[in-house]
Amino acid sequence: MALRVLGIDPGLTRCGVGIVDIAPDRRATLVAVEVIRTAPELELAERVRRIQLGVAALLDEHAPSAVALERVFAQHNVRTVMGTAQASGVVLAEAAQRGLTVALHTPTEVKAAVTGHGGADKRQVTAMVQRILRLDAPPKPADAADALALAICHGWRGAPPSATGGAGAADAGLTPAQRAWRDAERASRAPRLER
C-alpha cells in the first residue's frame, strides 16, 4: 500500500502544498498540488488563518498518513522567516490535531533526495520532480515544486531500506543521496519502458 505524504513549503504569501503517493517500490505518484496564497494587504492574523484553513481542507480531503515540512533556518530577511514560521505553526497544529506526525527536512536534504546533490538549483529540483512523478510538464504552480520534492524526500526516507529493491552489489558504493537519485532515475525510466 502506498504511503501518502503531504509536503509543505510554508510561507504567508505563498504556501506550497504537494501530495504524493509513494509505493513500496518507491514509485511516486502525484495526488494533488496547490499553492495557498494570501495578499500582503490582509491583516496578519487573517493571513495565518487562511493558511490554516487551506491546509486543513487539504489534510481532510486527501488524508495523508505523513506530513513533511521544510525546516527553516536563519535567513537574511527576518520578516520572511517570521511569516514562514507563523505559517508553519498552524500547519504543525493542524497535523497534530489529526494525529499526524510532522517530519522536518532541510532544503539541502530535499535537494539531495530528489537530485542526488544538496546544492541543486530550483530548475534542477523542478526537472527531477517532473521526472520522478512522470509528468508531461513541470508541476504547476511552479512554486509548488519544492513542496512536492519535500513529500518525495520524506516518502523515500521513510520507506524501509528493503523497499529499495535489495541492497546488492549495485548499492555497495552508493551514498544515501546517490541511492535516492538512482531510485529517482528508475522511477522516471519505468513508465517510458512501459509505453
Size of interface with its own copies, in residues (CB under 8 A): 31
176 vs 100, 120, 145, 157, 188, CA distance in Å? Answer: 26, 16, 22, 9, 18
Cβ atoms of 157 and 12 within 8 Å: the answer is no
Q: Which residues are annotated as a binding site for Mg(2+)?
A: 9, 70, 143
Within 10 angstroms of residue 114's Cβ, the number of other Cβ atoms is: 31
What DSSP assignment string belongs to 148-165? HHHHHHHHHHHS-GGGGS
Q: How far is the CB of 46 from its own copies (least distance, A)?
A: 5
Given candidates 93, 167, 170, 190, which one binds its own copies under the rule CB under 8 A? 93
Instruction: Check if 194 is active-site.
Output: no
65 binds its own copies (CB under 8 A): no
Site membership for its own copies, residue 60 (CB under 8 A): no
User: Residue 111 has which C-alpha cell?
Assistant: 535537494
Applying CB under 8 A, among 34, 89, 163, 165 the residue interacting with its own copies is: 89
What are the backbone dihedrals phi and psi of residue 118, each rounded to the nearest 5 degrees, phi first? -70, -10
Range 27-56, binding its own copies (CB under 8 A):
43-46, 48-49, 51-52
Residue 177 carries which DSSP code?
H
Among candidates 46, 57, 47, 53, which has minimal Cα distance to 19? Answer: 57
- Of 69-77, 115-123, 172-180, 184-192, the window that binds its own copies (rule: CB under 8 A) is 69-77
Cβ proximity to its own copies: between 31 and 51 the closer is: 51
Instruction: Catalytic residue, from 94, 143, 146, 183: name it.
Output: 143
Binding residues vs its own copies (CB under 8 A): 43-46, 48-49, 51-52, 67, 72-74, 78, 81-82, 84-90, 92-93, 95-97, 100-102, 104
